Amino acid sequence: MGINLETFILEGMFGAPGASGHFTSLLNQITLAAKIITARVRRAGLADLLGYTGETNVQGEGVQKLDIIANDTLLGALRRRGHCAGVVSEELEEPVFFPDSTGSYLVVTDPLDGSSNIDVDISIGTIFGILRSDPASGKPTVESFLKRGSELVAAGYVIYGSSTVLVFTTGKGVHAFTWDPSAGEFFLSHENIRCPDRGPYYSINEGYTVRWTEGVKRWAAYVKEDNKADGRPYSHRYVGSMVADAHRTLLKGGIFAYPADVKTPAGKLRLLYEANPFALIFEAAGGAATTGRERILDIQPTTIHQRVPLILGSTSDVETFKRFVKDDPEYMKKV
């Protein structure tokens, strides 16, 4: 019989001397939310859950019904056992605090990433990161969330793809669990994932070529050159759901890039609940994550919905990208 997620988490807890069980319980609640969201995603077309609500979120994007469902499900699960003191969600302008909580954990999340793909049955996902709030400094505030990614105690994502897979790390190993709908359990399917050192895919929105800076243009031309010795040309893959593009990159190798460009020098993706969780996962799997200039996990956040250029993947592919933008004066130029 396979190892289910709960057993895996519990066994991890028993191996941690002095563990209170709160972290394990919190992870279990996130897993519960993932099970509920996957059920909703699977029957979305049947249950009139697709489409827009008519509202816009803090990023000015149309809010879809499943976004709201995923957000409410996660908040409900996290509030339940009192281990989580507050949440920053992509869907909410301000953090949510749970005043009754006695817990010392904070969660950052994009409850449903890849919204533009919901209506067309393409993979979407949930991203989460867990921080520790310092109980000695009293009730958490907005500032409690403004911690470097290197301070995350755990991070993970759930991909609702051809199967549902939950991937998480506490910063050491990266493990994936595949949802078995007939058993109603997540079973360990990939233990100790290692991101290959290079290739074979590059993943970037090629439609924005005209906005790229010279360094990014030269890099994109380089990965498309014919050079058998180092595996070029790379194949292009771009789903447009970060969870799906990053999941493929983690398992198969290569690079995912949502770089700075001349229109958006700060990039598009969000530092706290998109870039940081994936950066922790990639580094724990032997990969890398950078803005092109700086390691993602070293960035001191200043606001909760801050955006950041994000390049992640196989270490040698990320290094190559960095080389191309190193002396590019336009890259991440402040306007």
**Applying CB under 6 A, which residues contact ligand FDP?**
113-116, 205, 240-242, 245, 258, 268-269, 274
- Give me the helix-helix angle, 22-42 and 65-80, nearest 10°: 160
For residue 280, CA distances in Å to 34, 60, 198, 250 come to: 20, 28, 18, 12
> Which CB atom, from 219 or from 258, has the smaller least distance to ligand FDP?
258
Q: Which residues pair with 312 in a beta bridge?
A: 256, 289
Q: How far is the CB of 210 from ligand FDP (least distance, A)?
A: 13
> Which CB atom, from 49 or from 269, has the smaller least distance to ligand FDP?
269
> Which CB atom, from 113 or from 185, has the smaller least distance to ligand FDP?
113
Q: How far is the CB of 192 from ligand FDP (least distance, A)?
A: 26
Q: How far is the CB of 238 from ligand FDP (least distance, A)?
A: 7
Q: Which residues of 273-290 are buried (b: 16+ CB within 10 A; e: fewer)?
A: bbbbbbbbbbbbbebbbb
> Which CB atom, from 85 or from 204, has the smaller least distance to ligand FDP?
204
Q: How far is the CB of 58 from ligand FDP (least distance, A)?
A: 13
> Which CB atom, from 7 or from 59, has the smaller least distance to ligand FDP?
59
Q: Could you tell me if 178 and 185 are in contact, meaning their C-beta atoms sit under 8 angstroms apart?
A: no
The residue behind tokens 């998480």 is: 168
State which H helix or E strand residue 38 sits in.
helix 22-42
Q: How far is the CB of 51 from ligand FDP (least distance, A)?
A: 15
> Which CB atom, from 35 or from 268, has the smaller least distance to ligand FDP?
268
- 313's torsion region: left (phi>0), alpha (psi -120 to 50) or beta? left
State which H helix or E strand residue 220 sits in.
helix 214-223
Cis amide linkage into residue 233, ω under 30° from 0: yes
Distance CA 294, CA 312 (A): 12
For residue 17, CA distances in Å to 12, 24, 67, 192, 209 come to: 10, 13, 38, 22, 52
> Which CB atom, from 222 or from 238, has the smaller least distance to ligand FDP?
238
